[in-house]
Every structure is written in C-alpha cells, then in structure tokens.
Structure 1
Amino acid sequence: MSRGRSLQSRNPPGLPGQRLKALREALGISGRDVQTHSRLIARSQGNQRYCISHSSLVEIENSTRVPSVHKLFTLSALYRINFVDLLLFFGIDLDQINTARLAVKLPKTHLVPSEIYDTERRVSFPARFDPGTRIEETDLLSRMVQTWGEIPIAFVQNLALRKYLYGFIGMDDYTLYPMIRPGAFIQIDDQDTKIDPDPGENEFERPIYFFQLREGYAYGWCELEGKVLSIIPHQMSGRKTRQFNYPDDIDVVGRVVAVAMSLRRKPARSSLSRPDTKRIQ
C-alpha cells in the first residue's frame, strides 16, 4: 500500500520547531504576527488556550517542546496546514489509530469507529479480472485479478451506497460461540432496526442484531414478545438468555450483515474481566 503523497513529503526532515518556523517564514509571518493573529482565533473560539505568545512561539521553534492541542489548532489555522499533517511533524500518524486499536483486545463488545484521516492515501484495487475466471468456483483473489491498480481510499469509501457501523465482539463475549467468536469484527446496518420474527431455515440465516444497553453493548439472536426483548445465545455457548424491557432498557442499533473473524483456534478469554452469565431482567 502506498500514499498519494509520500510520508516524507508530508513530514519533511528536521526538528518539528524548525519545520514550523520554515512554514511561518514562507508565509511572511513574524513571531509578533502569530501572537496577534492567535488572539483573534482565541476570541473566535472563546478560549484563551488558543493564544500563542511570542515567547511561547520562540520556545516551540527552538526546542523539542510539543505545543498543546489548542496551540496546534491555532498553528494549523495560521500556517494553512492540514491538522493531520501537522501532527505528523511530531510523529503522530492518526491513520495508525486503527492499528493501535487492533493491538488491544477489550473484554466487552462495543462499536468501532471507522474514520479515514488521510483521504489521499492510495490502496490497491482490482482494475481488471481475468476473463477466464469462473466466479462460481472458490479461488484465491490473487489468481482472479489480472491487473491491480491504485485509487485514493476516499474513492473506495464513496463506493458504498450505504454507510455501515462496525462493532467488535469482546474477548469475553461468547454469546454466539462457536458460530461467531470473541474478537470478531462485525458490520452493522443501522438502517435495519426492526426485529424480524422469522428465524430462517437454519442458524446462519437467523437474523443477528447489535444492541445498546444502559451499560455497554450486546449482540445475538433475539425475540420480542410485547415489551420484553430476549437476547438468545447459541446453544453451544454455555450462555443464558438475557431479557430486557424494550425499549426502556435496550435499543436496537442495527442488524449484523457481515462478520470477519479468525478461525485459527479457540480464542483466549480476556484477563481484564470475567464473563457475566447471569440472567438480566
């Protein structure tokens, strides 16, 4: 994977303070000008923390001091530099947040943000499929694609006609195990919140929903009888059915439409907490 703009061009060599000084001088702004203009920004934001005194600017430009988030906001506005690119001066790449999230497996099920900060980043994309490929047969994607190209990630994002939510199944959440394992990522259609009473012909066709509780999130099969919504676990999970007053104590976030998970081995339980197997009323 490569970027439309290289990391080096967005993050040129040199200490952060020196780079900031170069930006200021390229715009013909003096240190006193920064102080004056920053007061206008602070006034517009209603917070004096956005103000940068001349002495503070001198210290920032001539040391390894990292400005506060408010002062970074002001510098981004004054120097006409994207805030994401400005953070790169200090070694902070916001596009690595998702990588950092993956490094931490939390015990409870929760929603996962899906931000894209660098919309100019380019990703590999199938440009042409092998005309001899038989889509009826299972095959490796690398064998099916004849030509790969690169397009901006923002374009891929806009290909989706509907925007989905994404959730992470907590490492202590065995609700639908072994069909869906702890540590799985799920795609949620938040436009489909009406409970479908049809259980389907088998467990794979049975609708799965993602819920928001008073404290946290949950997912699973469900049944709605009057004002009682029951979250039904897989019969092999060892978990009990949980019941809630609907809609007072539980809200349907949406229907689960896709799952990504590892099949390597039985997932280890999180050491952060113990699973709750009690029936909830």
Structure 2
Amino acid sequence: MQININKNERMKPMENTDSFNYKHGQLYEPKIAQLHPNPNQIRKIFDQESIEDLKKSILEIGLINPISFSLVGGQLVTVAGEHRRRAFLEIGYETIPGIYVDQHLEEIALAENLQRNDLNLIDKADAIRLYKKLHNYTLKETVIKLKLSSSVPSLSEFLSLCRLPEDVKTECRKNRNIPVSKLVEIAKADDERAMRRLFKTYLKKLDGKNNKKTIRRGTGISGLTSRIYSMSTQIQKADIDSTNENEYCKLLLAIDWLEQVMRNKVINCKSFSVSKFRKNGSMP
C-alpha cells in the first residue's frame, strides 16, 4: 500500500483520537505525539543515517508502507514501524498513516523486523528465539516457517548468541564487524564472566590488528618515497640521447602522467609546508 504525502502539505490530525473506537485491520492517522515506542521492540539501536535516508524518501515519494499500532494499557503503541514514526516526527508531521492491530502484536513486530536486511546479528538472534518461543516451534519448524537458509545445527549455534551478557550484546550491536563465528565461540563459554573475558581478549587482538594496519600504511608511504628517489637516480643515469623517437615520446608521456598523479594525489592532498625540508637539505 502506498500513501503519497505531498512534501508541501501537512497531514490533518484525527479528531478525538483518545476516545476513538479503533477496529482491527483498519487504516487510521493517529497523532504521532500520542504514539509510544514498543517496549518489547527487538531493535535496540536506531541508526540516524537510515532515518535521514527514510526522511528523504518520504518527502520525495511519500510513505510506501503504513506503520502498525495498537492500544496497550490505555496508550497507543507502535507495533511495527518505529523508523517511520521517528522519521515523520523529525520531518514535522503531526500524524502518520497506520493500521490498527489488536491481535498477534509480537508476531507482527517480529515478522517485520526479521524481514529487514540491516538487522544486526544480536537483534536477529533475539527475534528468532522469541518467534520460536511464541509458537513453541522446534528448531526444524522455525527454519521452515521463517524460510531460513541455515540448517538446524547452524540455527542452534546462531541462537546461542542470546546467551551473551547484555553489555557484550550492546557492544556487538555497535560493532557489526565482529564475525558470527567468533561470537558463537564466545557464547560457548561456561558463564557470563568467562564470556566477558573472551570478548575483551578478542577486542584487544582486534585493536592490535588495526594498529598494525595503520603502521603498515605509514611504512607503505616510506617505501613509496624510497622508490621515487631510486627512480630519480635511474633517470639521471639513463642515456636519453641514444633513445629513438618512439621511446622518447613514451617516456615524456609517462613523466607527464606521473606529474598529474603526483599533483592530484599528493601535492593537493595536504597543506604541509616542505620549505623547511629543502632548507635542511632533506630533499634532493
């Protein structure tokens, strides 16, 4: 369902929203100020960059899918579509298109989150575990129902991520570069204390590798400088006078190309002054 919203217009708020008699499956425009986040929201971290992209899309083509909302404990709650709710709120709209649901709330929220490609490993594992628990499915039934590409043993290992301590989970949500195989290995530890110790050890090793990469990058620049000096020496020793016209033209073109690369990549890249090096005789 696509609901086009003109970027120059503001949606009209629904009258008497508090006492409105909502019906399951019907489309409404609840006031955003009255909508509360789902307390059982699987996704714990919302990327502001993705919200900004969503805002641009809404302003350009409108809202493609309405949110799902419900009335829980006397409050309107966003069942699915927290990203869209936040985007509408930041744009400045007073209402948002939403479908009212009064049954299978957790299943609806889980289904939508599991369909998202950007769901991190931890939240995805928690969502699958909760889905399995809600329906009392076996691992095999969960694989079939969710149409997962993983095998039963693989799913069992993946769900072991749910055993990780909450502080470790929080770090994993922030750092998406940690491979699932490493997290599964950590989750196999006997207790949370051991998991934390293994996780900290892994992060230290990861930091060490990143530092080595930085050092190698610096060494690469030094190596490049040495090769440039070496090439200058070879040019000075070359017998240019004895070369033929074809080779001479090729050499001039190569020098011209090198000059362009050096100017674009190196000379215009940094604002450092090299005059002090010339005075000290550090440059040829």
Under a length normalisation based on structure 2, what TM-score does the superposition of the two structures give?
A: 0.24
Under a length normalisation based on structure 1, what TM-score does the superposition of the two structures give?
A: 0.24
Which structure has more helix as a fraction of its residues?
Answer: 2
Which structure has more strand as a fraction of its residues?
Answer: 1
Choose 1 or 2 for highest CA Rg.
2
